[in-house]
Structure 1
């Protein structure tokens, strides 16, 4: 990919987003990056030149997102790669998480990304090219994580609308890739990025055990190297035929196949019931 191409990245002040911005700038790309706090973003990136445009954006406000897209066009003349990276984890059982806590997670993880897509698509359609990369999670492919039901639901939603978006955008020369990472050693499991319920129900022993494990054992010991994940993102953006689904990490690969095999087994075990629910041929003829 031409290093004059322009990347637009949300959630860029930490984690994978920050690593991505830094690698792109090192390679000479033009980068517009967003965060809720522009000072934190600029300080974290540590670079101020014509290749880097830091933007303060409230992803939940459509006008704020649209202003950021327009500022990027004004600065660089176009947008080539959009990365919806902003989001946060939420750990709590379905019962104990409040309506407000659940909706807030959807507002950022799902509707924030949709605001970006809606604002970017007119420009990508006009130039008949582009690549939208939506950062999901292995939790967007399998929900077998006690305590992560709402978070998984947000990422399942991202994967669902991304598959439809890919079908819609193909006619305009626009690619879509869903990235589903496993556990990568970022601050995703730190208190600043992982929400917990305001009221906890002790009866959910599996959820409390999961919470304890993620906050004290898994955090800081994740097997995935974020710098390698970022290099993979840059590589797929240069591919002529990039994947719709990209899983990152051996753990994500293994968990994906565990679900695929489980679904295949259930399909076959219950095939007779599944295929018995249509109208009989005689009824159709009659």
Structure 2
């Protein structure tokens, strides 16, 4: 779906890759409904939009609140007249600890935001998308959704669920006007650790390089939008995601061991 002159909803639009998706959509001629739990972050996104801000509306919504999400389509439609696409980008990571040390409050938060938030948004907007001449659903999974990352096991489980949710939806919507894309970012230079409240659990020793190459959020956004405009089934974002996807297909256990070796220095014992 070409995004020019389309109305697209983006969750997590106040920071990082979500903000860059909002700005890139606006630059390509789309109108955007940016959704985030952080009102001040949305205000900054609107400021950065500059001259394009007339085509931007912001909505402070907690996507784990099903009632609030169910009310969102009518709010967006009352502003723009329709909705042509959604990008379910909002997500959080878990504290960087092993499953045995992870409390249920953290587990439930990750699953509620990453899986149920995506599900609530998809269910709420799908009837409106089906009524459009063409429409698109994009769900952001993760490289950790197909490849195990120790210390992020529950995060990975939530993103694996998003993967299968999206792929199943794609199959169900064959023959309709709605296209579906699942996205697998690798390491992206965002503030997800800070925004998830887990920065103190993820520390790189002074002077050490990060274990993987990090892609900038604006480049990630461009790759994702190019995938949407090409109606891609799946989009791998970053050289690390592409490499590990290839390795995992050939030898899953070897790929898992490689990631364990790369991340072991960051994982509390």
TM-score normalised by L of structure 1: 0.80
How far 1:223 sits from its partner (Å)? Answer: 2.6
Aligned to 1:175: 179
Q: Please, what is the CA RMSD of the aligned residues?
A: 2.5
Contact 1:136 1:179 in 2 (8 A): yes
Aligned to 1:148: 152
SS of equivalent to 2:189: coil
Matched, 1:213 2:216: no
Matched, 1:184 2:185: no
Matched, 1:195 2:198: yes
Give CA-to-partner distance per residue, 1:233-284, whole Å, 9 cap, x none: 2222222xx222211111111111121111499xxxxxxxxxxxxxxxxxxx
Contact 1:18 1:45 in 2 (8 A): no
Contact 2:6 2:30 in 1 (8 A): yes
* Structure 2 unaligned blocks of 5 or more: 255-269
Aligned to 2:98: 93
Matching residue within 139, 143, 147 for 1:134: 139
Contact 1:185 1:222 in 2 (8 A): no
TM-score normalised by L of structure 2: 0.84
- Change beyond 3 A, Cα 1:57–1:220: farther
Q: Distance in 2 between matches of 1:186 and 1:52?
A: 22
How far 1:50 sits from its partner (Å)? Answer: 3.4
SS of equivalent to 1:82: strand
- Change beyond 3 A, Cα 1:127–1:112: same
Aligned to 2:265: none
SS of equivalent to 2:72: helix
- Change beyond 3 A, Cα 1:2–1:112: closer
**Bigger shift: 19-28 or 86-95?**
19-28
Matched, 1:120 2:125: yes
Q: Distance in 1 between matches of 2:119 and 2:39?
A: 22
Q: Distance in 2 between matches of 1:246 and 1:156?
A: 15
SS of equivalent to 1:12: coil
* Structure 1 unaligned blocks of 5 or more: 198-207, 266-286
Q: Distance in 2 between matches of 1:234 and 1:214?
A: 35
SS of equivalent to 1:260: helix
Aligned to 1:83: 87
**Bigger shift: 124-133 or 155-164?**
124-133
- Change beyond 3 A, Cα 1:67–1:216: farther
Matched, 1:164 2:168: yes
Contact 1:59 1:115 in 2 (8 A): yes
Aligned to 1:237: 228
Q: Which has the larger radius of gyration?
A: 1
**Bigger shift: 59-68 or 106-115?**
59-68
How far 1:103 sits from its partner (Å)? Answer: 1.1
Number of residue pairs aligned between Structure 1 and Structure 2: 249
